[in-house]
Amino acid sequence: MKYCSHCHQWKDESEFSRLKSAKDGLQYYCKTCNNAYHQVYKLRYLEAKRKGNRNWRKNHKEQCSKIARSYSKRAAENLYDRYIIQRLRDSLGLPTKEIRQHPDLIERERDIIKIYRVKKQLLKKCTEYGTGK
């Protein structure tokens, strides 16, 4: 039997986790107390982190909106590496791993998509303005 210094109860040794640095090789608190303790610690940590994030956002509004803008811009363009790799995989039939080893290939595909999109936009503008009718 071992005394838990947290819940002040005598419990079977099997109720204690191992701790090499302790004299008897067991944790000071029983498993139940340890779990509860870690749960509280975790919650406290998460709460502090959330608060920290919130404060950071409050103090860096300009920076935040800049980051959000750049994210949404890229998302709108759908030019994430993942998307491009998927396109290359479909058109070339190469495995993702091999495509990742050729960043120049990814960049080229990105340029092709960009050009294609500009072309599409121009064509749309042309039809909007009328093609010389």
Cβ distance to Zn ion smaller for residue 4 or 88: 4
58: Cβ contacts below 8 Å, ≥ 6 apart: none
State the nearest-atom distance from the C-beta of 9 to Zn ion, in Å: 6
State the nearest-atom distance from the C-beta of 45 to Zn ion, in Å: 22
- Residues of this chain that bind Zn ion (CB under 5 A): 4, 6-7, 30, 33
Write the Ramachandran bin of 78: left for phi over 0, alpha for psi from -120 to 50, otherwise beta.
left
Cβ distance to Zn ion smaller for residue 5 or 70: 5
State the nearest-atom distance from the C-beta of 2 to Zn ion, in Å: 10
DSSP β-ladder status, 2-4 and 9-11: antiparallel
Cβ distance to Zn ion smaller for residue 9 or 83: 9
Burial class (CB in 10 A: 0-12, 13-18, 19+), 88: buried
Cβ distance to Zn ion smaller for residue 30 or 85: 30
Q: If you count DSSP H runs as helices and E runs as strands, how many of each does the chain have, helices first?
A: 5, 2
State the nearest-atom distance from the C-beta of 44 to Zn ion, in Å: 19
